[in-house]
Amino acid sequence: MEEMFEGSFTQQLPLSDAAIEAAVRVMRSGRLHRYNSLPGEVAEAAALEAEFAAYMGAKYCVAVTSGGAAMAMALRATGVAPGDAVLSNAFTLAPVPGAIAGVGARPVFVGVTEDLTIDLEDLAAKADASGARVLLLSHMRGHICDMDRLMEVVHAHELTVIEDCAHTMGARWDGTLSGRHGAVACYSTQTYKHMNSGEGGFLVTDDEEIAARAVFLSGSYMFPERHGAIPPGEVFERLKRDVPNMSSRMDNLRAAVLREQLKHLDTDCVAWTERYRAVEAGLRNLPGLRVIERPEKEAFVGSSIQFRLPDWPAPDVAAFVERCKARGVELKWFGAAEPQGFTSTYADWRYAEPERLPETDRVLAGLLDMRIPLTFSLDDCALIARIISDEARRGSAARPAAE
């Protein structure tokens, strides 16, 4: 009898008792708006900004409504104007090009390697051809490129780097936290990310003007002093009449539950990666299946796993996905003809007028993606790997006859 998995790929851990108690305190106070505080009181959102900045080793932090809002503010704060070209990974999720288009700029997509990171040769070529001044670098699905080489390319082409760290909060490259290489870093606290407030996000930077602009853009209503990690007051005085209000503030309720989660973020990151390794171990050395090798310098957070079925015909990949689903394992396929759920690709974003990237198309054609929530045990992960392995062998065995 075939093994079945009966768990949920969308069920996250419940909030801790401490987080629930913190939320209840805010609700009982009635002061959910971040600027609705008593004299001498530090609002939850301001406290969270100070604590996240300290965790990141950053000077400034602005807590906002989503990772997408953080990216849009970062683009505006770094001077991106309507019509500007902005470089970004072709392999990413829709909010990344959406943030670029949302400020009236033009996404210029850079190819992806077989290891799912940005193609640095293509980046250099696209920087020259497009005249772009900004790279919105997406660490898509937690895969961090060689940041030392990337920064060499960036400096050579005088690019400003905004890092999309939605999938790399708590990860590191060669000991440096993800988000600390570029001028600005953006994080998400949407339910499926490494801290969960339903929706939410952060913008982190060491640049005082970018930070001040982000505070005003978030909608500070001339209350910048009520933020927790901000530059000197004179920076705000210089800018206060020049920056629009985008009303993207994080509220105290979300901040309260995130403050508790930040305390055990590193522990959670270790637990995710243990689960990732358990799945990965079961997928190695399978016919027709390729795991994504992780560089030694990359201390990743394994909240999802990706693998490829190189050169499988589309009908065979679709049949494999359906067989896994029938046994309780939910995979997302980035090579499907139509966008499904979160798996749209650069070719689907017609508003960006994308140019086709044949090598990227080849990589994405057989790319599968799977969430690994912390509600899974290590035994769950081993079972999932066995199911995927069974179906990969079955698919590989059937292919020669079909051909």
What pLDDT does residue 396 have?
Answer: 84
**Residue 337 pLDDT grade (very low, low, confident, very high; cuts 50, 70, 90):** confident
- The answer to whether 53 and 64 have CB atoms below 8 angstroms apart is no
> What is the dihedral angle through the alpha carbons of 304, 310, 316, 319, rounded to the nearest 10 degrees?
-10
Q: Which of 31, 62, 29 is nearest to 249 (CA)?
A: 62
What's the Cα-to-Cα distance from 217 to each of 37, 183, 247, 256, rounded to whole Å? 21, 17, 7, 22
C-alpha–C-alpha distance, residues 1 and 177, integer Å:
46
Q: How far apart are CA 335 and CA 343, in angstroms?
A: 9
Rounded CA-CA distance 361/116 in Å is: 12
Q: What is the pLDDT of residue 402?
A: 43
Res 172: pLDDT: 98
CB 320 within 8 A of CB 312: yes
Q: Is residue 377 within 8 Å of 7, Cβ to Cβ? A: no
pLDDT by residue (tens digit) across 340-371?
888 889 999 999 999 999 999 999 999 999 99
Q: What percent of the chain has pLDDT over 70?
A: 99
Question: Looking at residue 340, what is its pLDDT?
Answer: 84
Span 229-287, pLDDT tens digits: 999 999 999 999 999 999 999 999 999 999 999 999 999 999 999 999 999 999 999 99
Spans of all domains in the chain: 17-262, 265-402
Task: Give the pLDDT confidence of 135-152 residue by residue, as tens digits.
Answer: 999 999 999 999 999 999
Per-residue pLDDT reduced to its tens digit, 216-229:
999 999 899 999 99
Question: Is residue 403's pLDDT more than 60?
Answer: no
Q: Domain 265-402: which topology?
A: Aspartate Aminotransferase, domain 1 (3.90.1150)
DSSP 226: G
List of residues 6+ apart from 355 with CB closer than 8 A? 109
Q: Kindly report the average pLDDT of the chain as a whole number.
A: 96
What angle do helix axes 252-262 and 17-29 make, rounded to 10 degrees?
160
pLDDT digits (tens, 9 = 90+) for 307-332: 999 999 999 999 999 999 999 999 99
Dihedral of the alpha carbons of 375, 378, 381, 385, in degrees to the nearest 10: 180
Q: With 0-12 CB in 10 A as exposed, 13-18 as middle and 19+ as buried, what is 247?
A: exposed
Coil, strand or helix at 161? strand
User: Tokens representing 167?
Assistant: 């999938």
Confidence of residue 400 (pLDDT cuts 50, 70, 90): low
Copy the structure tokens of residue 290.
């390729």
Question: pLDDT tens for residues 172-210?
Answer: 999 999 999 999 999 999 999 999 999 999 999 999 999
Mean pLDDT of 98-127: 97
- Fold for the domain defined by 17-262: Aspartate Aminotransferase; domain 2 (3.40.640)
Instruction: Report d(CA 364, CA 359) in Å as an integer.
Output: 9
Q: In angstroms, what CA-CA distances link 38 with 42, 62, 85, 252?
A: 8, 21, 45, 13
Contact 113, 140 (CB under 8 A): no
Residues constituting the chain: 403
- Biggest CA-to-CA distance, the chain: 76
Residue with tokens 């001028």: 183
Q: Which residue type sits at 119?
A: D
CB 111 within 8 Å of CB 359: yes
CB 331 within 8 A of CB 319: no
Q: Are 109 and 355 in contact (CB under 8 A)?
A: yes
Helix/strand/coil for 146? coil
Whole-angstrom distance, CA of residue 260 vs CA of residue 200: 15
- What is the distance between the terminal CA atoms of the chain, rounded to a whole angstrom? 29
CA-CA-CA-CA torsion sign (220, 72, 129, 92) = positive
Given a cut of 90, whether residue 1 has pLDDT beyond it is: no
